[in-house]
């Protein structure tokens, strides 16, 4: 997939340089809006984007990853303006965390709106949401309508991917497009914090430390 790879009939549509006017970003967004799956870089690892309101696309996402139905799928949003479509309410603690730590590697778990398909929440009634600080991911979310899935671009049980080549090796033509944004930072996935509870509780510590979070809220 490096340099002059000519496999145009595969999922590996390489993007070397990504900027706001890039046609590949628009093409990736079109694929997502039509129910397809796109792999894209984030500030941690590569992610898989589908339109979470399209049940067929979400179902296909589970099949592609080999993911169990009891595992929820987090969402990336373009701005806090779309949250009213996704969650029942935003707590004062969540507001403080959004203001202080978004965009970035903090996923906030909130009570899900009835509009969210049960497959996304895995029947928990909650949904994890964040705004990505990676420029390519942010552009893609915006172009795709403001909301896409943010699950990792790998087979369930396999290591997350830092290179587009790794995504292709694991998923190949099972995805419709791979946006190659180069190597991602890796190391840690996003921190997942349940702010639907009081006090908030860390479900997974990752990119954002407990100490950073405690600058804004008291934790369980």
Mean pLDDT of all residues in 36-44: 96
pLDDT in tens, 70-100: 999 999 999 999 999 999 999 999 999 999 9
d(CA 126, CA 108): 10
The answer to whether residues 11 and 177 touch, using CB atoms and an 8 Å cutoff, is yes
Query: pLDDT over 70 for what percent of the chain?
Result: 90
Q: What per-residue confidence (pLDDT) applies to 7?
A: 32
Q: What per-residue confidence (pLDDT) applies to 21?
A: 45
Mean pLDDT taken over the chain: 90
For residue 167, is it within any domain?
Answer: yes
How far lies 22's CA from each of 41, 53, 110, 177, in Å? 15, 25, 33, 15
For residue 208, is it within any domain?
Answer: no
Structurally, the chain folds into a number of domains equal to: 1
* pLDDT for residue 18 is more than 70: no
Residue 63 belongs to what domain range?
23-88+109-190
Q: What per-residue confidence (pLDDT) applies to 144?
A: 97
d(CA 14, CA 95): 37
Length of the chain: 220
In a 3-state reduction of DSSP, which class is residue 165? helix
- Phi, psi at residue 110, to the nearest 5°? -130, 165
For residue 120, is it within any domain?
Answer: yes
CATH number at residue 168: 3.90.870.10
For residue 175, is it within any domain?
Answer: yes
For residue 211, is it within any domain?
Answer: no
* pLDDT for residue 20 is more than 90: no
pLDDT in tens, 141-181: 999 999 999 999 999 999 999 999 999 999 999 999 999 98
Q: What per-residue confidence (pLDDT) applies to 22?
A: 82
For residue 77, is it within any domain?
Answer: yes
Where would I find the H helices in 55-159?
55-65, 92-101, 118-121, 135-143
pLDDT in tens, 179-216: 998 899 998 999 999 999 999 999 999 999 999 999 99
In a 3-state reduction of DSSP, which class is residue 62? helix
For residue 101, is it within any domain?
Answer: no
């Amino acid at each position: 997939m490096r340099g002059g790879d000519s496999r145009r009939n595969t999922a590996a549509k390489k993007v070397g340089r990504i900027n706001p006017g890039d046609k590949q970003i628009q093409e990736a967004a079109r694929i997502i809006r039509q129910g397809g799956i796109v792999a894209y870089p984030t500030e941690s690892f590569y992610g898989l984007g589908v339109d979470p309101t399209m049940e067929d696309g979400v179902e296909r996402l589970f099949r592609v990853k080999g993911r169990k139905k009891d595992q929820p799928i987090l969402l990336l949003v373009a701005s806090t303006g779309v949250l009213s479509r996704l969650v029942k309410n935003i707590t004062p603690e969540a507001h403080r965390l959004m203001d202080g730590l978004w965009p970035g590697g903090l996923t906030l778990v909130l009570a899900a709106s009835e509009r969210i398909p049960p497959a996304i929440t895995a029947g928990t009634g909650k949904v994890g949401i964040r705004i990505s600080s990676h420029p390519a991911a942010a552009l893609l979310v915006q172009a795709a309508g403001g909301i896409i899935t943010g699950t990792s671009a790998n087979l369930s049980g396999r290591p997350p991917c830092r290179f587009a080549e790794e995504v292709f090796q694991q998923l190949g033509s099972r995805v419709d497009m791979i946006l190659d944004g180069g190597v991602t930072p890796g190391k840690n996935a996003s921190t997942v914090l349940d702010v639907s509870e009081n006090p908030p509780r860390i479900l997974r510590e990752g990119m954002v430390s407990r100490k950073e979070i405690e600058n804004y809220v008291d934790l369980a």
